[in-house]
């Protein structure tokens, strides 16, 4: 038997409020230069759906903040793991904007989201260290990587890793990209434990490109001219991100598999990739398989929920993992011994991946 970092419980919160693409058909959309797009909004919406695959998304109700939905997901994960929350050594929360105050666009991260979650869970153990990480959309995976490092250093044995976001509150209604983003939270309990065989995290890889790629995702004012406010919204250079992801993500994924000693991509049973854009994700996975001399792949290897839930940033992978574990996503299932690959790309620009034996 050997020690490995194992996911022992998962939980998620996907808001019940469904916002379909039809909700955007009355919007006025503008280009980054302030020029109104001279096409019917319905046509713009249909084109975005064709590109991203997004049909609808989920928005949190006004009274719920990122820390609130994170705590909901956390309780599920703790119950699923069957642990006493007082045994947790760390609570790591990945996000990008903290608690966004409804109607103000003001972000609130004092105290940290992780501390708020610890408070909500009623954990009194002062040696349970709560902290946030901001690593773009790959934040939840980076939280796992950090916790695994702490485990191996002998500093901790049990951790709660959460990805939570309410992106719907930080989007410009006059920007087409506003249709991409959504809200949600996913949590996982991970433990450093003796296992039969190589169960758990086998390897990880992460890179940051912070030169010409740094500002592909950024904060900026509304695209609509003449609006007198100082609000900043999430903005992105979609084409640049697409090209960046297709160039760098497959190689990072292969690097992670190489570290784990996996030489045949066909050994991987599931690939949980950040739900950023359905076509982009499919293209990334196709390029990964081509690195192994294979021209195509079985779509069943890559679960997707972006069509119905949109892009909730750090929450996409942990919510999707929870759905698969609970058999709530089509016919996707995980079985003991399955080789799994987690991978994400996002602001920074950051990329990371984990090879995991379920």
Residues with catalytic function: 137, 274, 311
Record the tokens describing residue 81, joined without a space: 């793991």
- The pairing of beta strand 183-195 with beta strand 200-208: unpaired
Alpha-carbon gap, residue 58 to 69, rounded angstroms: 13
Alpha-carbon gap, residue 293 to 288, rounded angstroms: 9
Alpha-carbon gap, residue 92 to 134, rounded angstroms: 11
Alpha-carbon gap, residue 68 to 45, rounded angstroms: 31
Task: Name every residue whose Cβ is closer than 8 Å to that of residue 336 and which is 6 or more positions away in sequence.
Answer: 199, 358
261 Rama class: left (phi>0) / alpha (psi -120 to 50) / beta: left
Q: How far is CA 81 from its chain centroid?
A: 21
């Amino acid at each position: 038997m050997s020690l490995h970092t194992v996911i022992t419980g998962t939980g998620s919160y996907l808001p019940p409020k469904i916002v379909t693409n039809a909700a955007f058909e009355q919007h006025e959309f503008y280009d980054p230069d302030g020029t109104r797009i001279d096409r019917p909004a319905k046509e713009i919406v249909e084109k975005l759906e064709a590109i991203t695959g997004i049909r609808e998304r989920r928005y949190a109700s006004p009274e719920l903040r990122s820390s609130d939905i994170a705590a909901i997901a956390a309780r599920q994960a703790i119950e699923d793991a069957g642990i006493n929350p007082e045994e947790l050594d760390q609570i790591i929360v990945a996000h990008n904007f903290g608690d966004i105050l409804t109607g103000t666009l003001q972000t609130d991260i004092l105290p940290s989201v992780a501390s708020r979650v610890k408070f909500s869970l009623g954990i009194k153990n002062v040696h349970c260290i709560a902290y946030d990480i901001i690593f773009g959309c790959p934040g939840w995976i980076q939280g796992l990587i950090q916790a695994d490092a702490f485990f191996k250093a002998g500093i901790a044995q049990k951790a709660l890793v959460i990805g939570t976001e309410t992106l719907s509150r930080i989007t410009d209604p006059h920007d087409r990209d506003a249709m991409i983003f959504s809200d949600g939270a996913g949590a996982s309990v991970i433990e450093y434990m003796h296992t039969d065989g190589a169960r758990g995290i086998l390897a990880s890889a992460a890179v940051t490109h912070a030169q010409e790629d740094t500002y592909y995702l950024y904060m900026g004012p509304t695209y609509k001219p003449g609006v007198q406010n100082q609000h900043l919204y999430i903005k992105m250079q979609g084409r640049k991100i697409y090209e960046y992801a297709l160039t760098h993500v497959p190689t990072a994924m292969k690097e992670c598999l190489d570290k784990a000693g996996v030489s045949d991509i066909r050994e991987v049973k599931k690939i949980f990739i950040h739900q950023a854009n359905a076509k982009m994700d499919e293209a990334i996975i196709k390029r990964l398989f081509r690195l192994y001399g294979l021209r195509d792949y079985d779509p069943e290897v890559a679960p997707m929920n972006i069509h119905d839930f949109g892009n909730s940033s750090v929450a996409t992978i942990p919510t999707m993992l929870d759905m698969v574990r609970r058999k709530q996503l089509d016919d996707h299932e995980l079985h003991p011994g399955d080789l799994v690959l987690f991978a994400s790309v996002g602001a920074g620009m950051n990329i990371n991946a984990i090879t995991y034996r379920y």
